[in-house]
Structure 1
Amino acid sequence: MDKRLFDNEEASWIKGIKDYSIECIIMLDKAGYIRYQNTTISKVFGYKEQSMLGKSILTYMHEKDREDIAKYFTKLTNQEVSQLQGEVRFRDASDVWRHITLQACNYDSHVLINFIDITKLKRKHYLELDESTRDPLTHLPNQRSLERYVERLVNRTKRRPFLFYKIDVHDLKTINDTLGREIGDQLLIRIVERLLTVFVKEAAFIARLEEDAFGLIFKHDCDLTTAKEIATHITATLNGEMMIKSYTLQVAVSVGACCFPEAGETFKQLSLAASQALQLAKHKKEAAFEIYAPHSSVAAYRAFTLRQELVTAIEQSQFELYYQPIVCAKTEHIVAGEALIRWIHPVWGTVSPQEFIPALEESGLIVSLGEWIIAGVCEQLSQWHQAGYGIKASLNMSPVQLFSEDLAMIVAQKIAQYQLPADALTIEITETVAITQKKVFLNTVEALRAIGVNISLDDFGTGYSSFSKILDIKPHVLKLDRSMISHIETDATSREVTAALIQLAHRLNMLVVAEGIETLEQLRETARLGCDYLQGYYFSKPVPVKEFSYLLLHQGHVTYQSKR
């Protein structure tokens, strides 16, 4: 120790404070060599007293931090800055790297450094960060992690191409509903094991994106042959039988892929492109994959152009509301109209919602377009009421909208603005929607119910219906899916199941609408079984407002009769 540092009574007093400080303190000469260490360093980092004296401070710093420390130390000693502070890695007596936060300043002819060990805090931070960026079931990185990884690849100085794959596991909801979520979870874990076993050396990144979806990044050249080879390898790896406990499950997946930079310059654009390819793959009968390439096929090019033009379509009001009649089973008079969105594209003509709704949901544009739909339905309903047609209107809500806490407020504002009775509006919720954020979802439904609007559970009977949704949502209206009606005039089982559902709904004070009525026999049979209302091409396909108004005009003024 350099005794000249403490050669008077005042300096000794200062030394005493430094030795009993909870902070670690060292003093350096202008060359960066340690001339003093306090006793706290021994307690925290294990160095014997005075064992650090005469050594360069840089010998204790991590090699990746040394250059910055030396640079700022020079600025400090040259009095270019009055003090410096930062976070670096510091080696303890056991040769273990610790994280410290330090503050340094000039002190007479020396540099005084105070530092604190923050290793435990850093570990806690990394643990929390890891939990927020990993899927708790599979321990794979989640979508947030994938987004960050893709952003790093996109922002690299050398913009090298890479392939972005999305994998969708079929029928996971059915497995969860019929065999239990434990079996579904075990299936996902087994799928991840296969992915990691086969692709751990090839895939740069594997992540779980959603309940039944995974994302993979491959740093390959973006030629179509390579992309197809990888997609084929993925389907071959995952498709087939898997034994989960005592169950033999037939696994099938669809794969969509795109390439950077052809498919987009951001994560959102690439994700949408891969989703578009995935949607095309789901509709293919043979190969269960699709590679996004704007000019490789008419379908892919159409999907690409539609996705790219969504914002323009909203700005230029290319969307239009069509209405399909809902009629009374007894009178066959129109009692309501279901509002359905159509995109009137300047090149492609009328575009089905199945082609653009998924892209709207992923991009978040569905929220602003959804507000436009609510306002448009309320305005049109008001006009029909003023003309003497006391009908109701129903509209479908996207899951993205149903997870919005502002939805009920927006609906209430539009009802008030157009002076409508609240029960003139029915919000349709698709039965197949997976309630992932159940509390938020049910709060939104309850808020809508409190306004006075009706709630309809749409497509009931699709696949494996969950009666728990009836208990959760408590709908005013139950809409039977067209798959239950298609053979009702010839299939005894269909008639019995439909009759039982109608009786159950009526006991729960719910109205029943049968969708997909296409023949006179279906009309008569569903009416005989007790359906309250009917909907389908037998009466009319969805039509523009003028044609719907024409239908109203030629059957007289009608009022939606409620059972309640």
Structure 2
Amino acid sequence: MDSPLYPMPIDEEQRLLTLDEYHLVDTPPTGDFDRLAALAARLFDVPIVLISLVASDRQFFKAHVGFDICETSREISFCSYTIVEDDILFIPDALSDPRFSSNPLVIGSPFIRFYAGKPLVTPTGEKIGTVCLIDAKPHPSFSDEDRQNLSDLAALIMERMELRRLDHLKQINQARFDSLATASPNAIVCSDANNRITYWNPSAEKIFGYSAKEVMGLPITIIIPDGRRDLYDAELRKLQRSKKKELGSNSILLSGLRKDGSEFPAEFSIALWEENHRPCIGTIVRDATERQQHEERLFRLASLDSLTNLFNRGAWNVCLAESLAAARPVTVLLLDLDSFKEVNDTFGHSAGDAVLKEMAIRIEDNCTNALMLARLGGDEFVALLPGNDVRAARMTAKRLVAAASLPFEFAGRSIRIGMSIGVSLAPNHSTHPEELLGAADLALYQAKAAGRGRYELFTPSFREVAIARRAFEHELKLAFENGEFELFYQPQVVTGTQRVVGAEALMRWRHPKRGLLTPASFMDVLIAKPSANAVGEWVLRSACETAAKWRTKIPDFRISVNLFEAQLSSGRLFSVVKEVLAKTKLPGDSLELEIVENILLRNDDTTLRLLHRLRELGVGLAFDDYGTGFASLGLLKRYPVSRLKIDRSFIRNVNSDAEDSAVVKAIIYLGKSFDLDVIAEGVETQQQLDFLIDNDCVEAQGYLFGKPMPAAEFTMKFVDPI
């Protein structure tokens, strides 16, 4: 006989005999195993979960989620490999595993890529099957926590199977019964028609603290607390009326009462039979303490957000759907933290996590009547409140906004953020879960657009605005494809002589219907789109090509180009800059890249290395809008910035506002101290220019010297003047 194409356990013969004792192969689905499989699918977020029993030539699925067939050949079974393992078999990518790369279940439906299986081990050590997780996409890792959770789940399943094995004790002869009952980890108690105890196994002694000699002839109710005896009696009467003969067919969760008076959660499985024409009662008692702890832990993992201990998105979806299906009036508050990203960028993710935990507490304190509070992910929370009273919704939202605005303390530092809230009501705005949450999301968008730190109640006009916004986003996508973007150039001059030494390239959109649009009309939308990197590369190439022409007349001409954040994270910026400089024959110092503060605040090592490489090419790095945010002196030491740009907001009143004047002087001083160039933006008057000259600011740009203009006009005015 040929050897099988799969590994064979050394105890195969005994393993198959033990499997037969459980009477589970080829049995119909049962709710307890189906529920455990469904729980595993939610807990591990996988599409397929199988509870498999490995027979001699096939594997039978006692429970299956996401896989419709009930069995497969053992020859193609992954579980054949699992039952020879001592622990979990983890396969991150089956296509990369020579054991499975050509398996029909890998190259065909269900197209298995990821597999994690835990053997189901009987109390006597045989591995009769597995609980396994399957996905059609690879999973590069399976954490220690995942392993513990899968092991706990396997323990629960095996305990259920063991209980089912014991359910068949009535069908085994008395000698067999005595042997198994002695080895059973569960208490097995037999009693007569008067409920007097006639049999008490060793596990009963261990669980309840009574010896067999102590309890013989006593009523079985000595192991049931007074408050639970009526439930036991009612279940027994029900069983007597139904005349069921299968041991364990009736199970109820009660409490067990130990000899010392302590109570514990216990599952009682009761059966009736006759011996010598006399009725007998058999009761299997299982200490459910550990199982209850496992189930509670698994429920928490499947339903709660691990950071904040609020409910997670899955639990929220269920609660909202149930509330709306019951036609209850409810209020949805969708909460989003303002400026939370800056907390992570400035103080680190540990500070961000601390803020999220504290925010969850503040939300709970201000929503004491909530049906559910949940964290949907990131810095987004949601509250479901009873009723749909507009005034009550506004009052709660107002309290939450105020609570979020209070400072957070972390490691001796004070952190301030805010909260924006979108409010929707049911049934007023919708009775469908997705639509109701979508309405709150539209209201949240309006709250943020109106300045943040506020709340908005949904109105139908918000949907009209959303439709218009989507249409605008589509137009913006077509604008790049159709070549509707243009570059304008604003001159940069030496303050003392007003000689042009460079220009900043600025985007414009020549809209086919609305005419020429400035970045204020579209930039916030553009930078969030997937096309941002491609647009940024186009700006860089176009500006450098134009600058190369102008340098033939102005040899020291410098072009300044604003970077999009997407360009820094694309992994292409250095190679693109190097290629553009080579193609246009521009020296590195003829190009200056402008970076906004939030990019530097990330304190990202990858970004730092990229900027150093750019500086090695000679490319200048300008810190745009310096002084308007949270930038520290540490950033100037850490990053290879070559120029500070004084924001126009300080120049506007530099001659009349002492604070603005002081800020400008301080930035100029910083530039000198750190050996950085400084340029002032927004210079519109001679008085402003005089101030800059008097304070040794070498360069400037603004309407005083020229507005942003097309390349042809710039050439005529500054490069080839008539």
Both structures adopt the same fold (TM-score exceeding 0.5): yes
Q: Which amino acid aligns with 1:207?
A: L
Change (3 A) 1:193 1:364: farther
Q: 2:375 matched to which residue of 1?
A: 206
Q: 1:282 matched to which residue of 2?
A: 451
Q: 1:43 matched to which residue of 2?
A: none
Counterparts of 1:342 and 1:182, CA distance in 2: 41
What does residue range 130-149 of structure 1 map to in structure 2 within 5 Å? Answer: 138=308
Q: 1:436 matched to which residue of 2?
A: 602
Alignment deviations for residues 410-460 of structure 1 (CA, whole Å, 9 cap, x no partner): 111111111111111101111244633611111121121122211111111
What does residue range 139-538 of structure 1 map to in structure 2 within 5 Å? Answer: 165=334, 167-170=336-339, 173=342, 186-196=354-364, 201=370, 205-209=374-378, 213-214=379-380, 216=382, 233-240=396-403, 242=406, 244=408, 252-255=418-421, 277=446, 279-282=448-451, 288-289=455-456, 303-386=469-552, 390-433=556-599, 435-436=601-602, 438-538=604-704
| Superposed displacement of residue 364, structure 1 | 2.3
| Superposed displacement of residue 203, structure 1 | 6.0
SS in 1 for 2:704: coil
Change (3 A) 1:216 1:244: closer
Alignment deviations for residues 241-298 of structure 1 (CA, whole Å, 9 cap, x no partner): 6365699987643346899999x99x9x9999788646522279xx65485967767x
SS in 2 for 1:363: coil
SS in 2 for 1:505: helix
Change (3 A) 1:216 1:349: farther
Change (3 A) 1:25 1:293: farther
Alignment deviations for residues 385-404 of structure 1 (CA, whole Å, 9 cap, x no partner): 24556421111112232233
Q: Which amino acid aligns with 1:505?
A: G
Counterparts of 1:395 and 1:261, CA distance in 2: 50
Q: 2:218 matched to which residue of 1?
A: none
SS in 1 for 2:77: strand
Change (3 A) 1:438 1:485: same
- Checking the alignment, whether the CA contact within 8 Å between 2:307 and 2:353 is kept in structure 1 is yes
Match for residue 125 of structure 1 among 146, 152, 155? 146
Match for residue 23 of structure 2 among 55, 62, 68? 55
- Checking the alignment, whether the CA contact within 8 Å between 1:164 and 1:270 is kept in structure 2 is no
Change (3 A) 1:350 1:230: farther
- Checking the alignment, whether the CA contact within 8 Å between 1:25 and 1:115 is kept in structure 2 is no
| Superposed displacement of residue 407, structure 1 | 0.9
| Superposed displacement of residue 384, structure 1 | 1.9
- Checking the alignment, whether the CA contact within 8 Å between 2:304 and 2:310 is kept in structure 1 is yes
| Superposed displacement of residue 188, structure 1 | 4.1
Counterparts of 2:637 and 2:149, CA distance in 1: 36
Q: Which runs of 5+ in 2 are unaligned?
A: 2-6, 39-48, 61-69, 84-115, 134-141, 151-299, 326-330
Question: What is the TM-score of this pair, normalised by structure 1?
Answer: 0.66
- Count of residue pairs brought into register by the alignment: 479
Counterparts of 1:24 and 1:354, CA distance in 2: 77
Change (3 A) 1:501 1:231: same
What is the aligned-residue identity percentage? 23
RMSD over aligned Cα atoms = 5.5
Counterparts of 1:527 and 1:195, CA distance in 2: 53
Counterparts of 2:315 and 2:606, CA distance in 1: 27
Alignment deviations for residues 460-508 of structure 1 (CA, whole Å, 9 cap, x no partner): 1104431111112131111112232222212344334422331331232
Change (3 A) 1:543 1:54: closer
Q: Which runs of 5+ in 1 are unaligned?
A: 1-9, 11-16, 28-35, 39-51, 91-97, 104-111, 557-564
Question: What is the TM-score of this pair, normalised by structure 2?
Answer: 0.53
**Greater mean deviation of Cα atoms: 309-318 or 226-235:** 226-235
**Greater mean deviation of Cα atoms: 331-340 or 237-246:** 237-246
